[in-house]
Amino acid sequence: MAGAKSGVHVSQLKPIVVSDNLIKGNKFIKWDDDSIIGTPVTLKVDPKGYIMFWKDQNKEMDCLEISMIKDTRTGKYARSPKEGKLRDSCTMGARDVALEDKTVSICYGTDHISVQWINFTCNSKECAMEWAECVLEYSRSPLSNNANALTYLEKTHVKISSVLNAEGKISVKNVLKTFAQQREDRKRVEKALEAAGLPHGKNDCINPNKFTFNDMYNVYRHLTIRSDIDQIFDKIGAKKRPYLTLEQFMELINKTQRDPRLNEVLYPYMSQSQVQEIIDKFEFNRSMAQKGHISRDGFLRYLMSDENNLIPDERLDLSMDMNRPLSHYFINSSHNTYLTENQLTGKSSVEMYRQVLLSGCRCIELDCWDGKGADEEPMITHGYTMCTEISFKEVIEAIAESAFKTSEYPVILSFENHCTLKQQAKMAAYCRSIFGDMLVTEPLEGYPLKPDSSLPSPEMLKRKILVKNKKKHKVSVVLFKVVLPHLALIRVSAYEETGRMIGHRILPIEGLRPGYRHIPLRNALNQPLNLPTLFVHLSVKDYVPDAFEDFAAALANPIAYQSMLEKHSKQLEVLMEDFDVESNNAQAGVQDDNVETSTSIPPSNFTKKRTDSLMSKTDSVVSASSTEGKNGLNRKGSKHAVLSQQESTGSALSQSSSTGSTPAGATHQDVTKILSGTESSAQLSTASFLGTTKLANPEMSAAISLEELKQQRPFLKYRLKMKKEIEKLQKKHQKAKQNMQDVHRTIEQKLLVSHFKAVRSMEKKHRKILKKAGRNGSLENLQPSLDQQLNQLKDAQKRERAEMKRIHSEDLIELSQSHFQLELDSVRALDKPMYDLMDQILQTSLDDRLEMLRDIHEDEVDLLKKRLAQQNREEIKALQKKHKDKQELSRVKRENQHKHITMAVAEREKLKGLLEKRVTEVKENHEAVKKTLAEERQKRNEDLQQDYEDKCLKIEQEYREWYRWKSMEILSTLSIADSVDDLTSDDESTTQLLSVKPL
């Protein structure tokens, strides 16, 4: 279970330990197929086993990520220089040792076809062997290829700091190239370098001794701007503080990051001391760590570290039981293994067998044909096509060399053998000589190839090659048991806006840990990528079928469950007491009514039962697990789930034909005579057969209706999901509108306060002027002008507030209309998969219906054959009794046989015509439903658009009216105090306007 730590496991999970020789490096001559002469280099591997890098005589450096390496070869299978000059320049060491034995050929790439090669030649066979074996081992490390996000960041740091320029420094150009491909992205990287205090000009260089991993982490932090981490950090409890307390961090680890299915006794919760150890490990601020606090950076380091791996290490190890019979396992298999392209004109390649085996495939295909050359060597190709040919012998050599590099479990060769006996003998000789002891030529002791015997286990067949070859006489092996491994997987992918895939990851469901996790992505060949990572929040729980929900609840919380039972029991007692009182007051007439009611079924209930039955059938179409109906056919394993409501009745009426009984129209006495043998069935006309066939029922061509489509469980489930999405969006919009209202109210309050102060200031000034004027005796002349000045100020303020109301109303109109547009776009986006789902259900219904009609037709053809054969036999018996002359009897038999054949052909043609008629009707009916669905889809789009336009117009009209009313009210307001009191009523009125019915 995810989150549990395994006690005992296979010991193949070992961290990479790089050999001292590879760390110190060796002298090699590097070359590839395009080289003119070899280049002397010093080849090294970093101490962590992340990259191999080399420096030439000009101090220029380059590297190759070890995780990108697909294969390493030395000796016979290493690549060899073809040009004489190149070969001479690659000569090193003893002349008596073959150049191939001193060469390490490294195959790398991101797919099986476009592989690339780089070759290194050294001075000894032992050195080449060590490099080939070690580098391949490092590239296959499960721990390294499933590392955490922090390790991949460290790998990028090692790659950058190991590849230096001629001056021994890190080129900023190299850093930019590592992080970004586009020009805009390069500018972001330059800013991140600058923010981290590092040289950032494209012609600048960085001192590798001053470029620590902590510097690399700071560049990453400035480059990514992890706002998602900040939100989680605040949500957990940090809020305005720059840290989480030990208690908050411990609660996250024990509740969110812990698998809730784990047993608390076997896997106890983390204690404070254990959580403190994690804080000490990832919090670099010592004073903060000593207080039991962890900062945002420390929290991010923890989330990216091996302490928070998505999949526990033990799940990467081999933990399956490999001692069961071989037939109990799913086997990773390949079809047309030799092809690099399509199977009509594609090129065949020996290398494909190596690449497929290296990728983990354990069953490969060899299409063997006679060679056409003088040597008559068997070939492998796709027969009767324009595909190229490859040598069978070279393929066998490639398989022998690559079969067990990835896995020691057996390899199965599936021969599609088209060769003559002579060339088959050559094939057998090649297999024996090249495979040697790896080839299984006889059954293992105790495992004979008999029907009642089991096959050997994969463990017993380690490093063995099995040949599966078709023969004329082959005994079938019956498998009584198949053990399914844990096959449940989930695939997550990330794409750019252009549609290019950034990376993906395929993960075992059973091994996932819950909580906040980083998912390092991989390329199309499943090789790890260093930087692309998804950050997710996972929730896990046990699946409990509906039938066991109460039982699971009782186990999870027995006290609460017992309390619920007691409460339910008390409620039931009260209900029974009320029922007893009513029963005691009831009279006999009531009892009669009860009897009548119990013996009759209301039509509405009957209809509901039929609808429920139909629902259960149509549901199974979408879930791809159809259930056979009560009157359904069971021929060749076919099952039909989508039936019309009338079909059950039709099937019941025609059931006699499907069971081989008498045709419709035969009386009870006829049936008795036929069964007793006193009367020939020939006396009943076969012409009545068409009247009894199920295909004669017009209801067989009925299509699933649009209403039935909309009652399908997947459709209803999606509609519920769609409703929740829209409600969520509307709540978000409502909150945004409320926020805008709050902002508007604050602005108006500030404006009113400033207006109030301006009026008070002017009044105070006027009082001083009037006081001074009173002393001079000019008060009467001055008072009117001062009043006019004050009124002008108030009028200007009212106009200013009215204008603000207008601006605010326009803002709210624009916001509301933008929300309506977003809701419209969201509904349309959600509508597309909904209607696609309905199309899918409709198509499945059509396919199922057509299959059902064909099966009915085949069954009734068989029934017709049996009936006509029985009729013919009885007629022959009657003729034998009637005609004693042999010649006459022979003539009459021929005539009867001819009549019988003519009748059979005619009846078959009638049945076929009826089938074709029903098929045509079914298709026409489904097309009609499909057309109706398309029309409804178009109408819904039009209605949504019209609804959107109506809402926009309505909100605009109402706001305009509201603004005119508020403007008049403002202009007629007597005082600023009245305006302040009026703010509350404004909020209530705008809230009413904003509550427009959503889409």
- The pLDDT tens digits for 648-699 are 333 332 333 333 333 333 333 333 333 333 333 333 344 445 666 777 777 7
Between 878 and 130, name the one with better pLDDT.
130
Indicate if the alpha-carbon torsion angle 580, 585, 591, 593 is positive or negative: negative
What's the domain range around 250?
A: 227-308
Residue 70: phi, psi to the nearest 5? -95, -35
Q: If residue 976 lies in a helix (H) or strand (E), which one and from where to where? A: helix 976-981
Pairing mode, strands 489-495 and 116-121: unpaired
| Domain membership flag for residue 338 | no
Q: Is 382 a catalytic residue?
A: yes
pLDDT band, very low/low/confident/very high, at 573 (cuts 50, 70, 90): low
Same domain, 103 and 245: no
Token pair of 547 as six digits: 């039938």
Most confident range, picked from 255-259, 262-266, 830-834: 255-259
66-89 average pLDDT score: 90
For position 815, which CATH number holds?
1.20.1230
315 within domain boundaries: no
Residue 972: band (very low, low, confident or very high) from pLDDT cuts 50, 70, 90: low
- 238 is written with which tokens? 């940090």
What is the C-alpha to C-alpha distance for residues 199 and 189, in angstroms, rounded to an integer?
11
The DSSP letter of residue 439 is: B
- Predicted pLDDT of residue 206: 94
724-744 pLDDT, tens per residue? 888 888 888 888 888 888 888
984, pLDDT greater than 70: no
Contact 352, 338 (CB under 8 A): yes
When mean pLDDT is compared across 43-57, 127-141, 213-227, 584-598, the lowest value belongs to 584-598
β-sheet bridge partners, residue 519: 534
Among 230-234, 584-588, 900-904, which stretch is predicted with the lowest mean pLDDT?
584-588
Cα–Cα distance, 198 to 219 (Å, whole number):
9
Answer yes or no: do 462 and 493 share one domain.
no
The answer to whether residue 742 sits within a structural domain is yes
Give residue 605's pLDDT.
Answer: 35
Kindly state whether residues 366 and 239 are assigned to the same domain: no
- Percent over 70 (pLDDT), the chain: 81
The stretch 465-481 carries a mean pLDDT of 61
Q: On the CB side of 664, how many CA atoms lie within 13 Å of its CA?
A: 13
Judgement on whether residues 382 and 531 belong to the same structural domain of the protein: no
- How far is Cα 467 from Cα 486, in angstroms, rounded to an integer? 28
Among 97, 125, 144, give the residue marking a domain's end: 144
For Cα atoms 930, 932, 937, give the angle at the middle one, nearest 5 degrees.
95
pLDDT digits (tens, 9 = 90+) for 739-796: 888 888 888 888 888 888 888 888 888 888 887 777 776 667 777 888 888 888 888 8
* Low-confidence winner among 128-137, 254-263, 984-993 (lowest mean pLDDT): 984-993
Most confident region among 433-447, 777-791, 797-811 by mean pLDDT: 433-447
- The DSSP string of 279-297 is HHHH---HHHHHTT-EEHH
Note whether 856 and 780 are same-domain residues. yes
| Residue 265 located in a structural domain | yes
Output the six-digit token pair for 231. 């939100």
Residues 125 and 242 in one domain: no
Q: What does the pLDDT average to over 338-355?
A: 93
Is 96 among the domain residues? yes
How confident is the model at residue 990, as a pLDDT? 44
Is 416 flagged in the annotation as binding?
yes
Question: Is residue 926 flagged as an active site residue?
Answer: no
Pair 794, 894 in one domain: yes
Catalytic residue among 335, 537, 568, 898: 335
By DSSP bridging, strand 411-417 and strand 465-469 are: parallel
402 plus 514 within the same structural domain: no
Residue 768 has a pLDDT of 82
Residue at 194 is within a domain: no
Does residue 167 lie in a domain region?
Answer: no
Q: Is the pLDDT of residue 485 over 60?
A: no
Question: For all residues of the chain together, what is the average pLDDT?
Answer: 79
Among 126-135, 159-168, 266-275, 486-495, the range scoring the smallest mean pLDDT is 486-495
- Using alpha carbons only, give the angle 898, 903, 904 rounded to the nearest 5 degrees: 100
Whether residue 529 sits in one domain with residue 428: no
Q: How many CB atoms lie within 10 A of CB 770?
A: 14
Domain finish residue from 128, 144, 160: 144
Asked if residue 374 and residue 268 are part of one domain, the reply reads no
Q: Give the DSSP letter of residue 455.
A: P
Report the alpha-carbon distance of residue 396 to residue 434 in Å, rounded: 7
| Alpha-carbon distances of 780 from 332, 762, 784, 960, rounded to whole Å | 109, 19, 8, 45
In this structure, what CATH number is given to the domain that contains residue 298? 1.10.238.10
- Give the tens place of pLDDT for each residue, 448-468: 888 878 899 999 999 999 998
Q: What is the CATH number of the domain that holds 368?
A: 3.20.20.190
Give the domain CATH number at 498. 2.60.40.150
The residues facing 121 across adjacent strands are 29, 103
Q: Are 245 and 130 part of one and the same domain?
A: no
- Would residue 240 count as lying in a domain? yes
Query: Phi and psi for 411 in degrees, rounded to 5?
Result: -110, 130
Task: Give dist(CA 898, CA 117) in Å, integer.
Answer: 75
pLDDT tens-digit series, residues 839-893:
888 888 888 888 888 888 888 888 888 888 888 888 888 888 888 787 888 888 8
Number of independent structural domains in the chain: 5
pLDDT average, residue stretch 408-436 = 94
Residues 829 and 928 in one domain: yes
Q: How confident is the model at residue 48 (pLDDT cuts 50, 70, 90)?
A: very high
User: Would the pLDDT of 960 be above 80?
Assistant: no
| Phi–psi pair at 699, nearest 5 degrees | -70, -15
The response to whether 950 counts as a known ligand-binding position is no
Instruction: Express each pLDDT in 619-654 by its tens digit.
Output: 333 333 333 333 333 333 333 333 333 333 333 323
- The active-site residue, picked from 382, 518, 755, 857, is 382
| Alpha-carbon span 54 to 106, nearest angstrom | 14
Alpha helices in 196-245 (DSSP H): 213-224, 227-236
Q: Say whether 896 counts as a known binding-site residue.
A: no
Boundary residue ending a domain (144, 166, 188): 144
Top-confidence residue, 567 or 420: 420
